[in-house]
Copies of this chain bind each other. A is one copy, B any other.
Amino acid sequence: MNASKTLGEIAQRIGGEVEGDVHAVVGGVASLESAGKTQLSYFASPRYRKALLGTRALAVLARKDAPPVEGMNWIRVPNPALAFAQVAAWFHPRAPRPPGTDASARIHPSAQVHPSACIMANVFIDKGAVIGAHSVLFPGVFIGEGVVLGESCWVYPNVVLMEGVVVGHRVTLHAGVVLGADGFGYAFDAEQKAHVKIPQVGIVRIEDDVEVGAGTCIDRATTGETVIGRGTKIDNLVQIGHNVHIGPLGLICGQVGIAGSVKVGAGVVLAGQVGIADHLTIGNRVMVSAQTGIGRDVEDGAQVSGYSGFRHVDWLKFMLSAHKLPELLKEISRLKRRLEELEKKEDP
């Protein structure tokens, strides 16, 4: 953690405005709940009102309209979460890794590793691969034949990039990520009684500024490319099938599964454990609730939820109704009996 800074210095750097003691010295950053009395926190949503009122933080990044707190120091900013991200990065810069290649790394003579890259112990780099400037490869990383990795990428321990994978600049791959394993494609041979493998000879292409969470697998295309668009962020243990194309600036949460050949637009948010069936098209800015299963195309801007991808508002109505269903069945029986009584009276 870097040296302390005053509220005034911080506000100046991020373009905020101090309400309170501009000379107060900030020793670090923390969430509202965990902040100690020298720490700076942030308030980004009414959902955390209770935490705001109970925080011991020295100061809070917040919009003008945050609830008042007795004696609090504020830095007023239009986007508190963004401001917090910037201040936290200032206090906790990523520790640089010295350039150079560990003696135990196994690098093919035809591979090109930029001299400013850091190649740690037991890294394996195969024929013709290219590693860009300032990129860092942690121990146990495997770089297959012909892989191209851009500049300033961080590739954490035991990540595997199979042959031909192309990765842009400033990409982060967390531990255990697998890019470019074979897609899941077979043709059944009824005579031989065997699933015959369809060779998976395409690649995976990761655009700039993508981050991929631990254990996530992104399969190579059957032919052509599987693509993750610029600035998209993917969480842990996500499965992305062959020939999937994901647009820029998406957020894909933990354990999502996307089957083969799905096209996902720009700025899409998929919450945890969502599943998308193969060959579908998901429009731009679509938001999908956790665990939703999507079985048909989704238009731009839609919010979808629940089994088989209800529209979000319809799913909420359904779930409310669902709780009443057992009682409903009884009600129908009662109505039926009363109707029978009436009918008997009519036609005795």
Contacts and interface: CB of A to CB of B under 8 A. Distances in A.
Interface of A: 28-31, 33-35, 44, 47, 79, 81-82, 84-86, 88-89, 91-92, 94-95, 102, 104, 106, 120-122, 124, 138-140, 142, 145, 156-158, 160, 162, 172, 174-176, 178, 181-182, 184, 186-190, 193-199, 201, 209, 211, 213-215, 217, 219, 222-224, 231, 233, 235-237, 239, 241, 243, 249, 251, 253-255, 257, 259, 271-273, 275, 277, 279, 290-291, 293, 295, 306-308, 310, 314, 317-326, 328-329, 331-332, 335-336, 338-339, 342-343, 345-346
A187 B329 contact: no
Contacts of A81: 187-188, 198
B322 A318 contact: yes
Contact of A199 (B85, B106, B172): B85
B160 A158 contact: yes
Contact of A213 (B174, B194, B217, B295): B217
A189 B291 CA distance: 27
A15 to B, nearest CB: 11
A278 to B, nearest CB: 9
Nearest to A331: B332
A348 to B, nearest CB: 12
A141 B122 CA distance: 11
Contacts of A88: 198-199, 201, 223
A17 to B, nearest CB: 18
Contact of A338 (B106, B295, B323, B343): B343
21 contacts: A30-B224, A79-B190, A81-B187, A82-B196, A84-B187, A88-B199, A102-B106, A122-B122, A122-B124, A122-B140, A140-B140, A184-B254, A195-B233, A237-B257, A253-B259, A318-B325, A321-B325, A328-B329, A332-B335, A335-B335, A338-B339
A28 B199 CA distance: 12
B235 A184 contact: yes
A26 B219 CA distance: 26
A158 B181 CA distance: 12
Given A156-B160, A194-B209, 16 more contacts: A31-B223, A88-B223, A89-B199, A104-B104, A122-B139, A186-B251, A213-B217, A215-B217, A219-B236, A272-B277, A273-B275, A314-B323, A317-B325, A331-B336, A342-B342, A345-B346
Contacts of A325: 317-318, 321-322, 325
Contacts of A249: 193-195
A306 B291 CA distance: 11
A142 B160 contact: no
Contacts of A328: 321, 328-329, 332
A335 to B, nearest CB: 6
Contacts of A331: 332, 336
A224 B32 CA distance: 11
Given A139-B142, A323-B310, A279 B47 contact: yes
B194 A217 contact: no
Given A89-B199, A196-B82, A328-B321, A31 B243 contact: yes
Contacts of A335: 332, 335-336, 339
A239 B234 CA distance: 13
